[in-house]
Homo-oligomer: A and B are copies of this chain.
């Protein structure tokens, strides 16, 4: 039915899934990685950078902003975006916790 049954899942699982969405589309990955390099927090350049329509990029930015992983401030007619440090650290911690939970079994598990 196309509707994710969020009530079936724990808060934790839903929260991680939301964070994971930031990395589940190449455009969003590209935006994040660009913001990581260009700490100077550019915008609009992203449209050229990605080769997508302005509206499309704007939508991805909106989603990333709603996840919380980026933030933007108006500077005249343009908007400057950058990584949101707090959420980034939450994200980093959450995922590293998961990554480290795996111990390579000496014998193949299955």
> Interface on A for B, CB 8 Å cutoff?
4-6, 8-10, 13-14, 16-17, 19-30, 32-33, 36-37, 39-41, 50-52, 71-73, 75, 80-83, 85, 88-89, 91-92, 95-96, 98-99, 101-105, 109-110
Q: Kindly report which residue of chain B lies nearest to residue A73, judged by CB atoms.
A: B110
Q: How many copies does the complex hold?
A: 2
Of B85, B88, B99, the contact of A92 (CB 8 Å cutoff):
B99
Residues of B within 8 A of A50 (CB): 8-9
A52–B105 CA distance with the chains assembled, in angstroms = 29
Residues of B within 8 A of A40 (CB): 109
Can you name 5 extra interface pairs (CB under 8 A) apart from A23-B24, A39-B109, A80-B110? A13-B29, A16-B26, A36-B98, A83-B102, A96-B99
